Structure 1
Amino acid sequence: MTPTTTSTIRVGLVDDQALFRTGIRMLVSSQPDLEFVGEAGNGADGVLMAASARPDVILMDIRMPGMDGIAATAEIVASADRTGTAPPRILVLTTFDLDESAARAIRSGASGFVLKDADPEFLLAAIRTVHAGNSVIAASATKELLEHFDSRSAPRSEPESFGSLTARERDIFQLAARGLSNAEIAAGEFLSEATVKTHVSRVLAKLGLRDRVQLVVFAFEHRLVE
């Protein structure tokens, strides 16, 4: 196996279908910038694999016998928090566009979801994208998920942490929650992209969120989108 370099993305896979695992392993291993470092057939073994192989990105199936992908995702993220290490980026593998389980996995710490029948090039691009710290879900798709499954009327609930945002940060929060990219926010607010990126990073830090996907989840769960 080619030695790992600083630019190599370490990829793990958790799925109960052996044939599917074989296909993904071959696909990932064919890429010079990706390294397949481990696989598991259920959530419990996936947690162990994450701890031993330390992948940068994990492709996580949702429906598996025993511990499912949602529980495994939550445990992997919680374990990283307990040890003070950065958790791997987790991409949920799902069969349906509008899957309530995908939304639950995002709440548990996943960085997004990918359809299991996605084109190979899309899956590879998704791995690289989440490794770079971005989401592979269009924010509109995330909103659709949350609106579809959390459409019950509920009062606006502003967490204490939200009160720590400055007026400018609240503006940026609103725009990011609606799905605007840094470039779009910069153009609309007459700011540089670097400034917008800084604001977004501060918002995430103050709210205790890992990425923009969780920002959208946070905004819709607390009915903060104006």
Structure 2
Amino acid sequence: MREIVFDTETTGLSPGLGDRIVEMGCIEMIDRIETGREYHCYYNPEREMPSEAEGVHGLSSAFLADKPCFADKAQELLDFIGDSPLVAHNASFDFGFLNAELEKCGRAPIGMDRMVDTLALARTKFPGAKHSLDALCTRFGVDRSMRVKHGALLDAQLLAQVYIELTGGRQIGLSLASAEPEDSAPIVIGASAIRRPVRPPRPHSASEEELARHKSFIQQLCDPLWSRI
């Protein structure tokens, strides 16, 4: 199954109050395995960047001034995500901004039935624990040392690893090899296959020479326990 893990960076917390998306990062996964395909784009929000938001992601108005508007890149984004389920952390936030931007450029909204929220998954799996992306990376041993500030593509990459762990870990792709004897038997883990030769069983019966040596050794024992029975 194809899924898209994505994250956004914005000018604030509310598209209804005029906040806009300034960065989008998407990671393609098939059967919970990253394919290496990704989508990343910065957008000119056509408004000033509040200092509070800049402090979170480090994207300034000057940096974004020469970047394309969301409307100019909307089709490119839609082509990448296709009709796949969309995975995000606190997904209602990202979906709200994404659909607000699509509405601004006359595009149809993305159905909420395609939303997969890793925050909801984490709350169900670990009730009472911390559920931020940083906390989940720590829980699952995901290296987040590069995350000095928020970044849509980096956060999507981290979330993809967290999502794998939340949904069963790397073993989710484990399948058993066929029981039929063949020249070689594949052990399949995810998309990788390690082929190992099938060796014939080793003989377990002692040879005539081994039996003779054993008898000679026994005869050399002085007063063995079994002779007292």
- TM-score after normalising by structure 1: 0.25
Q: Which has the higher strand share?
A: 2
Q: Which has the higher helix share?
A: 1
- Report 1 or 2 for greater relative contact order, CA contacts < 8 Å, sequence distance ≥ 6: 2
Which structure would you say has the larger Rg?
Answer: 2
